[in-house]
Structure 1
Amino acid sequence: MTQYLLSVIQPAGERPAPEAMARIGADVAALHEELRAAGAWVFAGALHGPESATVVRLGGEEGQEVLLTDGPWIEAKEHLGGICVIEAADLDAALEWGRKAARATTLPIEVQPFLG
């Protein structure tokens, strides 16, 4: 089995209304239960907004200093809102889970295999 990353692509701006978020939360919880029942579940989690991020990079003379910068590493209209790591027999199976995730979250889902 190959592991795949399902990335939730979150648009910038306001979150949906509380009623919509409650429905989405229930749909995502149901998807996670389905993943567990199918033996495809590895890990999932939602992320705080990009304003909570800190970028750690090498800089300074000869790239020996570690620099910390507040905020996301790139300004964008979308950001990573959450992830789900799954195990699937092949890309087609992973894409089917991606379809289900898109329906549950109402957001775009990027499906990408891990190396190795």
Structure 2
Amino acid sequence: MAEYLIFFNQQWVGDHDAAWFASRGPLAKAVVEEMKDAGVLIFAGGLVEEVEEAFSADATSGTVVITDGPYVETKEYLGGLTAINVPTLDEAKVWAGKVAEACGWPQEVREFK
């Protein structure tokens, strides 16, 4: 079995009205329930959209420094993620496709080392 991270950047979502987003919620929840039923779900969730609510922890100086905001100023930031544990890469691709279809925007997939 291998663990994979399926994720998206907030900027990949695109501009949609509230009704469109409301229509995606049940679809995404159904895929998460399908993953639970299949026994492959480790975790799934969306992140707070307001990146200024993030904080950073940095210990590279030898002392932990906590600062408000993202670690690096960037135009793209993580919007949500799903971690799965599946036997094959092909199965990870199937689940990533289901997540992308339910959410309505692209997903990237990476295997955990």
Structure 1 unmatched runs, 5+: none
Amino acid at match of 2:46: A
Please state whether the residue corresponding to 1:11 is helix, strand or coil: helix
Per-residue CA distance 1:33-73 (angstroms, 9 max, x = gap) = 111222211211111122211011025xxx22222222122
How do 1:20-59 residues align onto structure 2 when only pairs under 5 Å count?
20-49=20-49, 50-58=51-59
Q: What SS class does the counterpart of residue 24 from structure 2 fall into?
A: helix
Which secondary structure does the structure 1 equivalent of 2:7 belong to? strand
Asked if the contact 1:47–1:80 (Cα under 8 Å) also holds between the matched residues in 2, the reply is yes
Tell which structure's C-alpha radius of gyration is larger: 1
Q: Residue in 1 aligned with 2:109?
A: 111
Given the two structures, how large is their TM-score scaled by the length of structure 1?
Answer: 0.83
Which residue, out of 80, 97, 100, partners 2:95?
97
5+ unaligned residues in a row in structure 2: which ranges?
Answer: none
What is the CA RMSD across the aligned residues, in angstroms?
2.1
Which residue does 1:76 correspond to in 2?
A: 74
Letter in 2 for 1:58: A
Q: Which structure features the higher share of strand residues?
A: 1
* CA distance 1:58–1:71, shift in 2 (3 Å): same
Give SS of 2:77's match.
Answer: strand
Aligned length: 112
Q: Percent identity?
A: 36
- Aligned match of 2:8: 8
